[in-house]
Amino acid sequence: MTRFFCIALCLLVVACSFERDGGFRRQYTLEQAELSGLKFRQSGSTMRIKLPVTTPELDTDRMAIQLEDKRQDYVAGAKWSDFLPVMAQSALVQSFAASGRYRDVVADDKAVRTSYMLASTIETFRIEKVRGGQLQAHIRMRFGLYHYGGSQPIRTLVVDERKAVASDRVSAMAEAFNALFSDVQRSVLNKMAK
């Protein structure tokens, strides 16, 4: 009887630890932009990428979905590897650094003075279910380029892009987000960089 109780207790602990992470099978991440074929003029400037501002429902590690009736929900079984703003900032820092345009590119948690600062707001970053059940990824972000310490933007940009999702698999949704976010990053590098 004691042996049965010990085995049951062990199985209960294992089951509880699995449920603590919500039962997510796979984590997805955002990647830096594919920059092959793009040429950027190098400057001696430095760039700071601020952590994007967003709404509470997007400041999460869950993949958001908007249903046909406009209700917000989260994709079952899908989890980002980190909170969305942190992943977006990391990908932007990597893309700006890989472009070779700046001497140095840092996240806003680094205590260094830079020439410029890129601020952004994530307004929409979700899968949308449209008529007929078709899925599309939708990203809408606002960007502002500032002289470091300045209060007025030198340049602003709004990127509002959609991309069809190949299937209803979570991996297809993540692929669509990465392709779309890569396009967003290239737009920012082309239009916002000094």
Three-state secondary structure readout of 70-133: CCEEEEEEEEECCCHHHHHHHHHHHHHHHHCCCCEEEECCCCCCCCEEEEEEEEEEEEEECHHH
CA distances from 80 to 63, 64, 71 (A): 7, 10, 21
Is domain 2-192 annotated with CATH 3.30.40.10? no
Rounded to an integer, what distance in angstroms lies between the CA atom of residue 113 and that of residue 110? Answer: 9
User: For all residues of the chain together, what is the average pLDDT?
Assistant: 83
Name the residue type at position 169: R
79-119 pLDDT tens trace: 889 999 999 999 999 999 998 888 899 998 777 788 999 99
152-193 pLDDT tens trace: 999 999 999 999 999 989 999 999 999 999 999 999 998 876
Does the global pTM surpass 0.85?
A: no
Every domain of the chain and the residues it spans: 2-192
Pairing of strands 104-107, 116-129: unpaired
